């Protein structure tokens, strides 16, 4: 499972169970439902803004993908609740993931 290798390249792919097809989050080599192996679902996911706040000039949002996967992401423009967004930037910095949406 190469989630982090893809993330380092700026690509956000969510692992999917090869057996039960569940999207698995946090990213894992094994399904948290049936314990079978996962592989990355290589598509561009759309997310929805669930909640947000702001620190200085940057917004930070809870973004939901696929009805169950939630991450916290940065947003430059003023977000709106239920707004549909896409990952515009992502990666790993000093061991921590980072995500930005537009």
Partner 1 sequence: MVKVGIVAYGTTPFTKDDHKIETILHKSTKDLFQKNPKIDKKEIDAVLISTNNNSKYLSPILSEMVGIQPKIAHSIESLCNSGTNSIVSAFSYIASGLADMVLVSGAERYDSPGQILEWDNSRGEFKHPIFWASIFSKSYKEKYGISDEELAIVSVKNHKQASKNPNALSKKTYTVEDVMNSKKLTDDLKLLDCSRPCTGSASILLASEEIMKKYTDSPIWITGIGQKTTSAGFTKNTSLSSMESTKIAGQSALNMANRNISEIDVAEVHDAFSVCEPMILESIGFTEPGNGMNMIKNLHQTNNFKINPRGGLIGCGHPLGATGISQTIEIIEQLQNNAAGRQTDNPKTGLIHNMSAAATSSTVLVLEK
CB of 9 to partner 1, least distance (A): 16
Nearest CB to partner 1, comparing residues 31 and 73: 73
SS3 for 22-85, per residue?
Answer: CECCCCCCECCCCCCEEEEECCCCEEEEEEEEEECCEEEEEEEECCCEEEEEEECCCCCCCCEE
Which residues neighbour 91 within 8 Å (Cβ) at sequence distance 6 or greater?
7, 8, 10, 97, 98
**Residue 56 Cβ, how far from partner 1 at the closest point, in Å?**
9
* Shortest distance in whole angstroms from residue 42 CB to partner 1: 20
CA–CA dist 14, 28 (Å, integer): 9
- Residues interacting with partner 1, by CB under 8 A? 25-26, 50-55, 60, 62, 70-74, 93, 95-99
C-beta of 3: minimal distance to partner 1 in Å? 10
Nearer to partner 1, 44 or 96 (CB): 96
């Amino acid at each position: 499972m190469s989630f982090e290798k893809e993330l380092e390249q700026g690509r956000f792919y969510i692992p999917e169970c090869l057996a039960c097809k569940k999207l698995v989050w946090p990213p894992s080599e094994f399904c948290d439902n049936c314990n079978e192996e996962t592989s990355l679902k290589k598509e561009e996911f759309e997310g929805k803004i669930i909640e947000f706040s702001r620190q200085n000039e940057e917004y930070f949002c809870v973004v939901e993908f696929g009805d169950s996967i939630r991450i916290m992401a940065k947003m430059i423009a003023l977000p709106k609740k239920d707004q549909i967004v896409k990952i515009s930037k992502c990666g790993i910095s000093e061991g921590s993931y980072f995500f930005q949406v537009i």
